[in-house]
Amino acid sequence: MSFWINFILTFFKRKKWLSLGVLLAVSILALSGYFYLKMDKQVKVKEGIVGTHEERDLPETVLNLISKPLIKIDKSGNPVPELIQSWEISNEGKVYRLKLKPDLSWSDGRKVKASEIYISIADVEITAPDDQTLEFKLAEAFSPFPTLLNKPILRKAPVEFGFELVGVGPYKVLNKKKDGPFVKKIDFDIADKSFPRVSVTFFPNEKIAKTALKLGEVQSLLGVIEPDDLNFNNLAKKELTNFNQLVTIFLNTEDPLLSDENLRLSLAYSAPEFANAEIARTSLSPHSWAFNPNVKDYLNNKTKALESLKKVEKGKDETITLTVTSSLKDTGEKVVEAWNNLGLKTVLRVESGTPQNFQALLITQNIPADPDQYSLWHSTQKDKTNISKIASPRIDKDLEDGRKNADPEVRKQKYQDFQKILLDQAPAIFLYFPKYEVVYMKKIGVDLDKVLPIQLVNLN
User: How are beta strands 345-351 and 319-325 bridged, if at all?
Assistant: parallel
| Model confidence band, residue 226 (pLDDT cutoffs 50, 70, 90) | confident
- Per-residue pLDDT, 41: 64
Distances, alpha carbon 387 to alpha carbons 249, 250, 300, 351, 429, in Å: 11, 7, 24, 17, 13
Over range 126-141, report the average pLDDT: 96
Q: Report whether 145 contacts 110 (CB < 8 A).
A: no
Is the pLDDT score of 49 beyond 70? Answer: yes
Which has the minimum average pLDDT: 1-5, 73-77, 355-359, 363-367? 1-5
- Per-residue pLDDT, 242: 95
User: How are beta strands 197-203 and 44-50 bridged, if at all?
Assistant: parallel
How many Cβ atoms sit within 10 Å of the Cβ of residue 101?
Answer: 15
SS (H, E, C) 81-129: ECCEEEEEEECCCCEEEEEECCCCECCCCCECCHHHEECCCCCEEEEEE
| Model confidence band, residue 99 (pLDDT cutoffs 50, 70, 90) | very high
* Residue 219 or 357, more confident: 219
Contacts of 172 (CB under 8 A, 6+ apart): 66, 107, 108, 166, 188, 189, 190
Chain segment 63-92, per-residue pLDDT in tens: 999 999 999 999 999 999 999 999 999 999
Closest CA to 319 of 298, 299, 348: 348
Separate counts of helices (H) and strands (E) for the chain: 11, 22
3-class secondary structure, 282? coil
- Per-residue pLDDT, 23: 39
3-class secondary structure, 296? coil
H-type alpha helices, 222-365: 261-270, 302-310, 329-341
Over range 388-415, report the average pLDDT: 96
End-to-end CA distance of the chain: 73
Q: Report whether 407 contacts 189 (CB < 8 A).
A: no
DSSP state, residue 192: -
- Per-residue pLDDT, 206: 94
Q: Report whether 197 contacts 42 (CB < 8 A).
A: yes
Q: Contacts for 254-259 with beta carbons within 8 Å, 24 or more apart?
A: 254/389, 255/359, 256/315, 257/315, 257/318, 257/320, 257/359, 258/320, 258/359, 258/360
Could you give the domains of the chain? 79-155 (3.90.76.10), 171-240+436-455 (3.40.190.10), 245-433 (3.10.105.10)
Q: Report whether 65 contacts 454 (CB < 8 A).
A: yes
- Per-residue pLDDT, 67: 97
Chain segment 140-177, per-residue pLDDT in tens: 999 999 999 999 999 999 887 789 999 999 999 999 99
Q: Report whether 236 contacts 442 (CB < 8 A).
A: yes
Closest CA to 373 of 335, 427, 325, 327: 427
Is the pLDDT score of 263 beyond 60? Answer: yes
> Which H helix or E strand runs over 8?
helix 2-14
Is the pLDDT score of 25 beyond 80? Answer: no
pTM for the model? 0.86
DSSP states along 401-421: HHHH---HHHHHHHHHHHHHH
- Per-residue pLDDT, 158: 86
Is the pLDDT score of 6 beyond 80? Answer: no
Q: Report whether 43 contacts 190 (CB < 8 A).
A: no
| Model confidence band, residue 29 (pLDDT cutoffs 50, 70, 90) | very low
What is the C-alpha separation between 114 and 158, in angstroms, rounded? 16
Chain segment 213-223, per-residue pLDDT in tens: 999 999 999 99
Is the pLDDT score of 26 beyond 80? Answer: no
Closest CA to 313 of 270, 261, 358: 261
* Residue 41 or 229, more confident: 229
Q: How far is CA 297 from the centre of its chain?
A: 28
Is the pLDDT score of 185 beyond 50? Answer: yes
Is the pLDDT score of 53 beyond 60? Answer: yes
| Model confidence band, residue 36 (pLDDT cutoffs 50, 70, 90) | very low
CA dihedral 334, 335, 341, 343 (to 10 degrees): -150
